Amino acid sequence: MASNLENFTHYFMIIVFLMFCFILLCMALLALHCYLQKKKKKTTLIEVEETEVKHVDENKRVKENIVKGPHGQPESVVVSVEGDCHVDDDIIRKKKELKAQNVHAKSLEETTPSALEAGHSS
């Protein structure tokens, strides 16, 4: 009887030890997986290319007034020049996500400041 009990405890200890080692191995593999995922995210580079676009609208108006004298002859000529200039600035941002290993564009998005203010996101 004693030998059966000793064999049972011996096998029970071996099974518990193997289960404990299996659980530790699974935890180590999970930690390694999480570490590699975090490292993979850090190797992604984000490149932002900004292009400034200016729209210039320039207008000039010339007015000529001829003032006639008492006998119908031109006495003086008044020339007035009005200048009107409108400048609109717009910045176009192109965002590229690049992998450090194979350096190819993952996604390309074009946004303008007006789209950023409106809260549009992808």
Q: Cα 100 vs. chain centroid, distance in angstroms?
A: 17
pLDDT digit string, tens, across residues 71-105: 777 777 788 888 888 888 888 888 776 665 444 44
Q: Where are the domains of the chain?
A: 1-42
- Alpha-carbon distances, residue 59 vs 80, 89, 95, 98 (angstroms): 14, 18, 36, 45
Does residue 56 contact residue 85 with C-beta atoms inside 8 Å? yes
**pLDDT above 70 (res 120):** no
Torsions phi, psi for 120 (to 5 deg): -75, 135
pLDDT digit string, tens, across residues 24-52: 999 999 999 999 988 877 666 677 788 88
3-state secondary structure (DSSP) of residue 73:
coil
Largest Cα separation within the chain, whole Å, is: 148
| Core vs surface per residue 13-48: b (16+ CB within 10 A) or e | eeeeeeeeeeeeeeeeeeeeeeeeeeeeeeeeeeee
Look at residue 35 in the predicted model and tell me its pLDDT: 93
